[in-house]
């Protein structure tokens, strides 16, 4: 059984977001967001479009920035993830860090 992959909208246009919902989540989600949009227009609801991108820094830069902010590195390692075949693998670019104050 295949589970669908949820696609996230990463933009700043409400109309593009509505199109994204219609295309990826269907008519019910589209209508529900139109309802929320109308309520938000009158101050009864708040909609936040998440357009934030990802921040990437290699480990030496990330560690330096953290130390400049007063943190001390305890350890870091490559993030582990499960691939499409269900096997655990090390991520190519993602790291997990453990800092202390």
The pLDDT value given to residue 3: 45
In which band, very low, low, confident or very high, does the pLDDT at 51 lie, cut at 50, 70 and 90?
low
pLDDT of 68 higher than 50: yes
Going by the DSSP 8-state scheme, the letter that residue 9 receives in this structure is: P
Q: Please give the share of the chain, as a percent, with pLDDT higher than 70.
A: 90
Q: Where are the alpha helices (DSSP H) in 26-81?
A: 27-41, 59-68
In which band, very low, low, confident or very high, does the pLDDT at 97 lie, cut at 50, 70 and 90?
very high
Query: How many degrees, rounded to 5, is the angle at CA 21 between CA 55 and CA 28?
Result: 145
pLDDT of 87 higher than 80: yes
35, 39, 100 from 8: Cα distances, Å: 20, 23, 33
The pLDDT value given to residue 6: 54
Closest alpha carbon to 49 in 58, 57, 37: 37
pTM tops 0.75: no
Mind listing the pLDDT tens digit for each residue in 38-49? 999 998 988 888
């Amino acid at each position: 059984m295949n589970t669908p992959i949820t696609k996230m909208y990463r933009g700043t246009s409400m109309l593009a977001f509505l199109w994204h919902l219609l295309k990826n989540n269907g008519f019910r989600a589209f209508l529900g967001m139109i309802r929320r949009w109308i309520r938000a227009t009158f101050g009864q609801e708040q909609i936040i479009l998440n357009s934030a991108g990802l921040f990437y820094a290699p480990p030496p830069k990330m560690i330096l920035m953290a130390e400049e902010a007063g943190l001390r590195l305890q350890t870091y390692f490559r993030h582990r993830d499960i691939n499409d075949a269900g096997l655990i693998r090390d991520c190519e670019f993602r790291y997990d860090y453990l800092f202390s104050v």
